[in-house]
Amino acid sequence: MKTLIFAIRNTGWYAAVPVLVAALGCAGFFAVEQAGPTQLVIYYATFMRTIAPLFAAWWPLFVFKERVEGDGRELLYLLRPRGESATATLLAGAYVAVLTPLGILAATRRLPEAIDTPAAWGACVCSAALAFWVVFATRSSPLALLAAVAFGLFGQAAFARLVAAVVALVGPRPDADVLPWLAWLGLAVAMLLHGERLSRKFAG
């Protein structure tokens, strides 16, 4: 917890944006619920597949912008000569945690799309890992922002279709519902591992 607080304390009031997004997601859920189950399914699917992954990159963008572009980054590197993947993982985990109440709402309402919630969380973790990786690969937070937006608008859907095609080839099996989540997690881990190597020498 101390590491997480340290990571976002310089973000200021911007740190509250992901929490506000999650809260508005829940509020919207209750509002749309009055319109009927069809609209609720559309709302939940749209929120989890587009809005949620997009804002998953929010905390990493601000936190690692300070690491790479802030004053005194060389001193920070000397004081903490280790990679930043653990911080990125904590930030991604915290974001999934604030989204969990919305997932619980979908599960309690037995929405068909609730079965895709773990994969949506995996996409959020992947978005956060992408922002982390691009920041240290390019030494540029604006490029990381563009990558996160592109991922949210195009990349996530393309990767989801690829995973769905692979799952279809595998055929029906008991763990078929877990495979999309594992695919997202595998992609996130790959970016975290390579980002770890890059972040160990970002002050050079």
Secondary structure class of 153 (helix, strand, coil)? helix
pLDDT of residue 47: 94
Q: Where are the alpha helices (DSSP H) in 16-155?
A: 17-33, 37-46, 52-56, 58-69, 73-79, 85-108, 117-138, 141-150
**What pLDDT, on a 0 to 100 scale, did the predictor assign at position 72?**
54
Nearest-Å Rg of the Cα atoms of the chain is: 18
In 3D space, the residue among 142, 136, 128, 130 whose CA is nearest the CA of residue 8 turns out to be 128
Predicted confidence at residue 140, as pLDDT, reads 87
Residue 69 zone, left/alpha/beta (φ > 0; ψ -120 to 50; rest): alpha
CA distances (Å), origin 34, targets 41, 101, 129, 130, 135: 12, 19, 36, 36, 42
Token pair 């920070």: residue: 76
What was the pLDDT predicted at 67?
A: 78
Enter the tokens of residue 182: 């594992």
The pLDDT assigned to 79 comes to 47
Which stretch of DSSP H or E encloses residue 194?
A: helix 179-199
Encode the chain (204 residues) as per-residue pLDDT tens digits.
666 666 777 677 888 999 999 999 999 999 999 998 899 999 999 999 889 999 999 999 988 887 787 665 544 554 455 678 988 999 999 999 999 999 999 999 988 888 788 889 999 999 999 999 999 999 888 999 999 899 888 888 888 888 878 777 776 665 566 777 888 889 999 999 999 988 887 654
Contact between residue 89 and residue 152 where contact means Cβ atoms under 8 Å apart? no
